[in-house]
Structure 1
Amino acid sequence: MIKLLATGVWILVLTLGGVFAAAKFGNPNPDDHKADVPPPPQYVQSETVTLPVVTEGKVSGYFLVRSTLVVDDALMKEIKVPMPTFLTDQLYTLLVGDKILDLKDKGKFDVAAFKGRIKDGLNARLEKPLVKDVLIEQMDFISKEDIEAKDPSRKPERIVVNTDPPPPKPVATGASH
């Protein structure tokens, strides 16, 4: 009988020791590493923006641009105007006002410089280093003739092809038990 009781106590001590060791050493404290991890970037995605191309006083076609801004989350909370509004205005300034893209010589279009000018222009306008990066998802040109032809086989002409992937989808956060 004493042997059976000693075996039971021995099993109980081993089980409790295993549970204690697992709780103590198994899972590090999540607060220890929170200070080391930078906050994830915030993405501000624009709708597809249609910008007219005016040549000799007439509309000759349209730019179709879809882009995303990678912004500083802390500074973003201070901005009251929606960022897509600023982005659309910057695109109008560069493509319609400054005409930085020559449609006759699209091969010389510098995508990195274009993205840099968008970033620098927005940061200068907002007077803070809010924009960290610009992602161009789509940049096409469609001529007025292609639109008027109403031919579904005529596609917009790609100016920028797959330079940046679309931003990641937001992860749903919920309580886990």
Structure 2
Amino acid sequence: MDLGIIGQAAGLFAVTNVDDILILSLFFAQGAGRRGSTRRIVAGQYLGFAAILAVAVAAAFGATFLPESAIPYLGLLPLVLGLKAAWQAWRSHRNGGDEEKGGAGDEGPGPWEVAAVTFANGGDNIGVYVPVLATAGVGGMSVYAVVFLILVAVWCRAGMFFATRPVIAKALSRWGHILLPLVLIAIGLLILIEGGAFGL
């Protein structure tokens, strides 16, 4: 196995997914103390990234399941989820509920919620991955896929690490129910605006 390709794959993943660590930290903080939440968040992260990878690989082979003009509209996913989380946090606060839960429900973030955010946030990664995978050949593409999937686990571990550091955990516990909706809404708007969706 070519170490050069492994290094390139690791570098490409790190550069295109650095913002995911913040989002994962917020999800892990939201699910803290809820049984099975870690498993659901990790499953959601893998589902979302596997979808990104599948679309990128298919496009590298010439199939275009996701037209380039549709990618900016992926911003609607985190935007809607952020608005939903904001509504739940506001409703929970208004009803005198525990702010730390932030209206996330008894189970914390679900796998489909995490997957949707991961896929939408990584929609622009597809455009970066396609030419790299197309020129890597089948063997190189396999190396990229394996390295990417291993690094998803590393990213999940990093997100969990940051969410459980005492200072960060205390801040996320206190402000996470506000930060998560704000981050999701910001990501959604950024994807929509940068992609020129709705003529923005």
Bigger proportion of residues as strand = 1
When Rg is computed on C-alpha atoms for both structures, the one with the higher figure is: 1
TM-score by length of 1: 0.28
TM-score by length of 2: 0.26
Considering Cα pairs closer than 8 Å and 6+ residues apart, tell me whether 1 or 2 has the greater RCO.
2
